Amino acid sequence: MTFDAARYTAQLQDKVTRLRDLLAPFDAPQPQVFDSPLQNFRLRAEFRLWREGGERHYAMFSQDDKRTPILIEEFPIASLRINQLMPQLKAAWQASAALSHKLFQVEFLTTLAGDAMITLCYHRPLDEHWHAAANQLAADLNVSIIGRSKGKRDVIGHDYVVEKLDVGGRTFSYRQPEGAFTQPNGTVNQKMLNWAYEALGDRPDDLLELYCGNGNFTLPLATRVRKVLATEISKTSVNAALSNLDENAVDNVTLVRLSAEELTEALNEVRPFRRLHGIDLKSYEFGSVFVDPPRAGMDPDTCELTRRFDNILYISCNPETLAANIAQLHDTHRITQCALFDQFPWTHHMESGVLLTRR
């Protein structure tokens, strides 16, 4: 891959045009554009291993051909830390049968703060020889190691990495667990958090957050409001979010493990939920809702729920479903701010954000 700045600028402009065209029916303002580094922006990477010439190599496959491997020695879009670790790990498994035997996949997770974790996946149980070799490897590389085999997970060090992001003049610390979703482009994520922080502004009322994940947005947005009710369905993400709230001394957030659809039912008093025991939903004075849904966007009922709020702050990884949701809300809310975040340079994918306010 060649990292031509002019080609990147042209691709980014194509994304701006696409987003602008999708939001044109709603009289959206010109989007703020937040670009990405051209290389070394991706904080995680996953490789299959492929045997050739008597050795195992890092390999990936194109979407069009799942049978022919692309052998990789370096991965320039990945972080400098991943590119540093790749040859060191390869040398280690080449020198150790305990590490290489039936090893079929490798995953790297790194942070802007310099933390790193490597997950090694095997088609065999992990024995004492593997543990001895993996402990030495973790010490040599200064990383945490996760060993995965059928139905088992062995952790050397931590099963998470720690990220530190500066938002609104404060540094927030994030625990990012192995196997859980995290934003892949840390530099653009930090820009995205700051945009959301500024877009919400200081408010005297409460915030409802749907799809909160590990608290990526929750932590800085909680400093802008009286209190937050946040929901997330993934147990791993909920546990990470609770740890992150505690680590950052953010004490005005109540987190419940409910899907957006379930919370909609609870707020509509369709049925009670045991997980809401002790939480007085009527005590909240919600002025704003923050949503960061999956690619499918919000379902119609959840979208209808957001209509109740004066302000809807919406982060989207799919501009088509974003536009579809805005179409449902356009009669009561208008777009007052719009942004494009180039989380995924060199691809057609984009992250975008809008602030909708009541007409």
268 labelled binding-site residue: no
183 labelled binding-site residue: yes
Catalytic residue among 163, 178, 209, 351: 351
Tokens 């147990």 appear where?
Answer: 235
Q: Clarify whether 209 is annotated catalytic.
A: no
Q: For the sheet containing 65-72, what is the strand order?
A: 65-72, 55-62, 44-52, 103-110, 116-122, 144-149, 152-156
52 labelled binding-site residue: no
* CA angle, residues 62, 36, 349, in degrees to nearest 5: 40
Q: Which amino acid belongs to residue 166?
A: D
b/e 43-56 (16+ beta carbons within 10 angstroms → b): bbbebebbeeeeeb
8 labelled binding-site residue: no
Structure tokens at 147: 């060993």
58 labelled binding-site residue: no
Catalytic residue among 247, 317, 320, 338: 317
Q: Clarify whether 46 is annotated catalytic.
A: no
User: Annotated binding site for S-adenosyl-L-methionine: which residue ranges?
Assistant: 183, 211, 216, 232, 292
User: Annotated binding site: which residue ranges?
Assistant: 183, 211, 216, 232, 292
Residues recognised as catalytic? 317, 351
